[in-house]
Structures are given as structure tokens and as C-alpha cells.
Amino acid sequence: MAGARRPGRNFLFVPGPTDVPDRILRAMHVPMEDHRSSDFPKLTKPLYEDLRKIFKTKDGQVVIYPSSGTGAWEAALTNTLSPGDKLLAARFGQFSHLWIELAKRHGLEVIVQEEEWGTGVNPDRIEEALRADKGHEIKGVLVVHNETATGVTSNVAAVRRAIDAAKHPALLYVDGVSSIASLDFRFDEWGVDLAITGSQKGLMLPAGLGIVCASQKALAAMKDAKCRRAYFDFGDQMRANATGYFPYTPALPLLYGLRESLAMLLEEGLENVFARHHHLAGGARAAVEAWNLRLCAKEPKWHSDTVTAIMVPPGFNGADVIDRAYRRYNLALGAGLSQVAGKLFRIGHLGDLNELMLLGAIAGAEMAMRDVGIEVEFGSGVAAAQAHFRGAQAARETKVAAE
């Protein structure tokens, strides 16, 4: 860690970067090699195949950039749109906000639907706006699948239904940075056109890879897309990728890490990965309830299974909890951003995580809250999470026995 020695492990519960499993760290510890060698495609080609399984797509085109997820946002937009094009986007958190801002910087005009923070995309409003757009000036709809800032998951399938109901040709752009490989995501079935993710969340890698999946319809839009681009150009990548290479030097350790990450996800089974995230998130939410605190997410339908944002009681500052947790207990929690700065703290529970790790974090959050004066009973959140885990386990065992 950047700071001085503190005994034992850091409990990393920010919603990304997530813990990189030892197995992946090992896989990344590689000597360099010639990225133009005749052996190199043996490494790269299977990555695209396996990533398609993660996105759940048959024909989607996957592109891997040496960049953060922000770069993948930029790639998705600049390869498919022209300056002046209109986009429709809901804003309900810091990340939906930042994506809109990035689009504007590239000369795109964004029609923003403001939603209360703690809620998500309203498919009815989307449908309404698209129906109103008789001339089909709106070229794309931007959806942040999981708003990391507030712990809210939106219904992407419903957005697709809204677009279809409006018989509108707009492309569907989905930010899946904190959902893909952790939450159920179905590129083909949901008719997503551009899906974006990064390496440092559900893929359990360090940051440094921005990944985009593009539908055939999205690729068709490339030829008219006038946004200037070079580093993030799909075409250069696709031409080089076709033979197993890259247009410029790739971030080799991350490719080896990605190979291991994909192997681990597929070994565990994607549906099991999703179920595990749901199981753990249930424990986190049970703890919050036991603490008598509120979630930022307004209703159960918005509950995110990758991040839980917890409102601190009036008179307290979430930043104090976070600071105490970090300095005193070696526990990293996520902060409230922008509108909700100071009003909440966040527990990320995604990636390579199990029950005891989360219970340790919950125990630590209890201690940090007490330290700053928030009245929570020691062990109360832990006990509620334990009961949740046990109940869920019992239910599962009963079900297995009955089968």
C-alpha cells in the first residue's frame, strides 16, 4: 500500500478496483514478449471468444483497449456518432453524469432526463421521449446499468422494450462497468448496441483495460460516424485483432490476467457468479437494516448487488466514517460523490469476495460508525448478515435435498 506499514490485510470495499485474486496476480507476473510473434495470437484470440460469453453475445464485436473504462465510454461514442448528434440519457448519479459530460465534450448534444439520485432509468420517460422524436434525431440512448455512486441498478431490458415500443432506431449504449461479470447482463437478448466495461471490477483485474462490445448495427454506424478518433478507433483494432494482433503495443500482463480472469469466471459459472453477488449483497442490506440506517437506493427494485450506498444519519458526515475506517481499521469504503458527498458511505461487494470478507468489513463499518458517534450496536449488522447467509444457505440446501 502507498502508506506506511499496517499489519494484516487491507479490506478493500470500494466498488472498484476490487481485490485481484492471487491466481490472477500470479498470471500477470510475466516476462515481456514480442507482441508480433507468431505465437502471440494463441494468447489473444481466445480472449475475444471468452469475452463474448461474458457479454452473452454471439455476433458482438469485442474490442480491448489499453485504457480505463472512461476510455471505453469515449470509444463507444466516438466510433458511432458525429458531432451534433443527439443522445438521450438519464442522470441519477455521478457516473451517469460524467458520461453525459464526456459526450458533450465530443460535440454530442445530450437530452438529459434527471431522475432522483437513488432511483434509475425510467423506461416510460425514455419511451415517451423517443416517441416524441418523430424525426429520429436521437441517435442513441445512454444507460448506466449500475450507478456505482448510489448503488442503483437500472432495468436495461425494460429500456430496450421502451425503444422498441417507440419503434425508434436509436442505438442502445450501456455502461456495464460495475455490472458486467457481476450482475446478469445479456447483450444479445436485451438488444444492447454498445456495452462498455473495465477490467477493475467484476473482471477482478487492475484497471488498465477498457472493453467495448459492439453490435452489428453499431458497427454499421461507424462508416458515418464523424467524431474524430485515432487511439480509440474501432477499425484499427478490428483489422489487427482479426489476425490476433493489436495496432499498438498491448498491456501484456493485463492480457495474461484477463485470460486467467475469464477462466475463473467460466469455471465458477456466470450464473453462480451472479448468485454469489446477490447472496452477498443480501447480507450487506440485512446489516444496514439491522443498523436502522437507510439505503441511498429508494426502493428494492433499484437495489444493486455490487454496491450498497448507506445514508449516514443527519448530523454526521460519511467522510468521517470512511476516514476512520481507513486509518484505524484498514478498511477502504467508498465515499459519497457530488450531490451525496458526505451523506453516505458505500460498501462495494463485487469481484472475488466471500462471506467472511464481507462480515469483516461490516464489523469494521460498525466500529468506524461508533467511533464517529453513530449509534449502531456492535455485532448487529454482522448478526443480521450471518442470519441472511445462513437462511439463504438453508434454503438452498433444502432445495437441493428436494430435487
Site residues for its own copies, 15-44, by CB under 8 A, read: 16-20, 22, 25-44
Does residue number 275 form part of the binding site for its own copies (CB under 8 A)? Answer: no
Binding residues for its own copies restricted to 102-161, rule: CB under 8 A: 102, 105-107
Packing angle of the helix pair 270-290, 380-402 (nearest 10 deg): 140
Q: What is the per-residue binding string for its own copies in 172-201, x denoting contact by CB under 8 A? A: --------------------------x-x-
Choose which of 267, 271, 375, 403 interacts with its own copies (CB under 8 A): 267
Which grid coordinates belong to 151? 448503488
Other beta carbons within 10 Å of 23: 15
Choose which of 171, 227, 281, 297 interacts with its own copies (CB under 8 A): 227
Does residue number 230 form part of the binding site for its own copies (CB under 8 A)? Answer: yes
Q: How far is the CB of 81 from its own copies (least distance, A)?
A: 12
Would you say 189 and 46 are in contact if contact means Cβ atoms under 8 Å apart? no
Q: How far is the CB of 355 from its own copies (least distance, A)?
A: 6
Does residue number 396 form part of the binding site for its own copies (CB under 8 A)? Answer: no
Total chain residues near its own copies (CB under 8 A): 114
Choose which of 206, 282, 318, 336 interacts with its own copies (CB under 8 A): 206
Does residue number 367 form part of the binding site for its own copies (CB under 8 A)? Answer: yes
Q: How far is the CB of 313 from its own copies (least distance, A)?
A: 19
Binding residues for its own copies restricted to 241-260, rule: CB under 8 A: 247-254
Q: Return the number of the residue (133 or 236) whose C-beta is nearest its own copies.
A: 236
Per-position b or e across 237-270, b if 16+ CB within 10 A of its CB: bbeebeebbbeeebbbbbbbbbbbbbebbeeeeb
Alpha helices in 91-215 (DSSP H): 94-105, 123-132, 156-165
Does residue number 317 form part of the binding site for its own copies (CB under 8 A)? Answer: no
Would you say 288 and 381 are in contact if contact means Cβ atoms under 8 Å apart? yes
Q: Return the number of the residue (56 or 276) whose C-beta is nearest its own copies.
A: 276
Strand, helix or coil at 241?
helix
Q: How far is the CB of 373 from its own copies (least distance, A)?
A: 13
Choose which of 53, 131, 136, 228 interacts with its own copies (CB under 8 A): 228
Q: Return the number of the residue (8 or 315) whose C-beta is nearest its own copies.
A: 8
- Give φ, ψ of 142 to 5 degrees: -100, 125
Burial class (CB in 10 A: 0-12, 13-18, 19+), 357: middle
End-to-end CA distance of the chain: 48
Burial class (CB in 10 A: 0-12, 13-18, 19+), 370: middle
